[in-house]
């Protein structure tokens, strides 16, 4: 009886805590709403140009939701369906930052892992002097990707152990810390390290230590229930089915069964806004902490020895992949994008986050989000302090 009451009490507390950011007007956040109309216009032009079927834009300022708007359609095949602000998206590589990297930093804070530890300490047969930091900053020398058909023929699928065996022994493209090469294999290796150290799957560890703590109730790997019902579809398959609630990335989907360090998280703008607010507030939101201020600073600062590459342990500050920051945000702004059309930019100097979510690969992989991300970031940055 006591255990049942305790469980109900815990469940009630989670439900009470699971609340979105407070909504305020742009003007209350020091943002000129009239100037934000330029962002609306840019997004609608991109939709008209078939760069994406629809999108959701969220702007976080000083821990509050200053702007939240949906545009276009979430589904156009096999029939049309309007986009709404509660749409859940396949985050693709944004998963690297908001799940895998944060999970690594949590283990560092708990004294169970060091950024300078060699990957071979946790993964049997892992070749070379590659450190956890090298994996996080894409300076390991691992290849960018792997051929899924070849892996399937060799190991069968899904087969996470086979994938890790391949990553551990595959040829490296350069010596660690001598170059930068964005690689999904880096974050799949980090997944195995997290799981080895914690004794949990990445799915469970991230849920228990990040998503549930912050009340991100529509954020998950392998979404189900109400979260699945809200998911925007992605690419049409050869049999005319569209992927919906199943991760788009082939390595994550085929080899890792949907839970992968490089991709696989589904989320909506409201939940990502809560995570952004927590990072902007030194790792805590509404009295719930996922990281210390020191952990957030380390995760979002480019190491001195890797300055030329522009990557922090989990985020992008000024590499060639950081164009979604635009031209006007501060040099300390950090960001990440996802192949499916997702983007998050967090600017600690302006206490600001810009979240732009789209499913540009629906129904076919022909859309392009690169330019619109920069345009929107520029409009939001220019809307600050105009009042």
Digit-coded pLDDT (tens) for 132-160: 999 999 999 999 999 999 999 999 999 99
For the cut 60, the answer to whether the pLDDT of residue 165 exceeds it is yes
Instruction: Report the candidate in 131, 36, 48 with the shortest Cα–Cα distance to residue 352.
Output: 36
Place of tokens 């990335």: 249
pLDDT in tens, 37-75: 999 999 999 999 999 999 999 999 999 999 999 999 999
Helix (H, G, I), strand (E, B) or coil at 265: strand
Task: Compute how many other C-beta atoms are within 10 angstroms of the C-beta atom of residue 349.
Answer: 10
Cα(202)–Cα(166) distance, integer angstroms: 19
For the cut 60, the answer to whether the pLDDT of residue 2 exceeds it is no
With 0-12 / 13-18 / 19 or more C-beta atoms within 10 angstroms meaning exposed / middle / buried, residue 381 is: buried
**344 — pLDDT class (breaks 50, 70, 90):** very high
For the cut 70, the answer to whether the pLDDT of residue 4 exceeds it is no
Cα(199)–Cα(186) distance, integer angstroms: 20
**187 — pLDDT class (breaks 50, 70, 90):** very high
Q: 92: which 2 tokens?
A: 């693709």
Average of per-residue pLDDT across 275-293:
98
Cα(97)–Cα(101) distance, integer angstroms: 5
For the cut 50, the answer to whether the pLDDT of residue 10 exceeds it is no
- Predicted confidence at residue 56, as pLDDT, reads 98
- Predicted confidence at residue 18, as pLDDT, reads 55
Are the beta carbons of 203 and 195 closer than 8 angstroms?
no
- Spell out the domain ranges in the chain: 21-95+199-383
Which residues neighbour 311 within 8 Å (Cβ) at sequence distance 6 or greater?
Answer: 136, 137, 138, 139, 180, 302, 317, 319
- Predicted confidence at residue 312, as pLDDT, reads 98
Read off φ and ψ for residue 65, nearest 5 degrees: -85, 110
Instruction: Report the candidate in 299, 264, 116 with the shortest Cα–Cα distance to residue 184.
Output: 264
DSSP single-letter state for residue 85: T
CATH class of 21-95+199-383: alpha beta
Determine the distance from the C-alpha atom of residue 385 to the mean position of all C-alpha atoms in its chain, rounded to a whole number: 29
Which residues neighbour 324 within 8 Å (Cβ) at sequence distance 6 or greater?
Answer: 335, 337, 343, 345, 356, 370, 373, 374, 377
Task: Compute how many other C-beta atoms are within 10 angstroms of the C-beta atom of residue 34.
Answer: 12
Q: What is this structure's pTM?
A: 0.94
Largest distance between two CA atoms of the chain: 61
Angle at CA of residue 58, ends 56 and 59, nearest 5°: 155
Helix (H, G, I), strand (E, B) or coil at 122: coil
Task: Compute how many other C-beta atoms are within 10 angstroms of the C-beta atom of residue 207.
Answer: 18
């Amino acid at each position: 009886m006591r255990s049942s009451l305790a469980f109900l009490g815990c469940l009630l507390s989670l439900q009470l805590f699971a609340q979105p950011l407070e909504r305020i007007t742009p003007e209350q956040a020091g943002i000129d709403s009239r100037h934000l109309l330029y962002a609306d216009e840019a997004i609608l032009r991109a939709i008209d140009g078939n760069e994406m079927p629809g999108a959701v834009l969220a702007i976080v300022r000083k821990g509050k939701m200053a702007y939240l708007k949906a545009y276009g359609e979430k589904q156009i095949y096999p029939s049309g369906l309007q986009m709404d602000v509660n749409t859940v998206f396949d985050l693709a590589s944004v998963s690297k930052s908001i799940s895998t990297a944060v999970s690594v930093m949590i283990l560092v804070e708990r004294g169970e892992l060091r950024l300078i530890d060699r990957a071979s300490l946790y993964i049997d047969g892992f070749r070379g002097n590659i450190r956890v930091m090298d994996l996080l900053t894409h300076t390991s020398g691992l290849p960018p990707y792997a051929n899924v058909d070849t892996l399937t023929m060799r190991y069968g699928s899904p087969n996470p152990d086979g994938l890790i065996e391949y990553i551990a022994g595959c040829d490296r493209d350069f010596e660690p810390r001598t170059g930068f090469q964005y690689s999904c294999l880096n974050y799949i290796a980090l997944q195995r390290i997290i799981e080895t150290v914690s004794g949990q799957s990445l799915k469970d560890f991230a849920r228990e230590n990040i998503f549930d703590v912050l009340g991100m109730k529509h954020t998950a790997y392998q979404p189900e229930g109400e979260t699945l019902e809200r998911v925007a579809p992605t690419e049409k398959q050869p049999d005319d089915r569209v992927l919906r609630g199943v991760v788009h990335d082939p390595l994550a989907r085929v080899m890792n069964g949907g839970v992968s360090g490089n991709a696989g998280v589904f989320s909506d703008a409201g939940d990502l806004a809560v995570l952004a607010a927590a990072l902007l507030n030194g790792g805590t939101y509404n009295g719930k902490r996922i990281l210390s201020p020191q952990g957030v600073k380390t995760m979002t600062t480019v190491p001195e020895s890797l300055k030329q590459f522009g990557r922090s342990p989990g985020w992008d500050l000024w590499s060639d992949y950081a164009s979604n920051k635009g031209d006007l945000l501060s040099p300390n702004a950090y960001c990440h994008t996802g192949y499916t059309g997702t983007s998050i930019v967090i600017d600690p100097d302006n206490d600001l986050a810009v979240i732009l979510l789209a499913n540009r690969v629906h129904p076919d992989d022909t859309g392009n989000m690169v330019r619109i991300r920069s345009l929107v970031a520029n409009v939001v940055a220019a809307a600050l302090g105009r009042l």
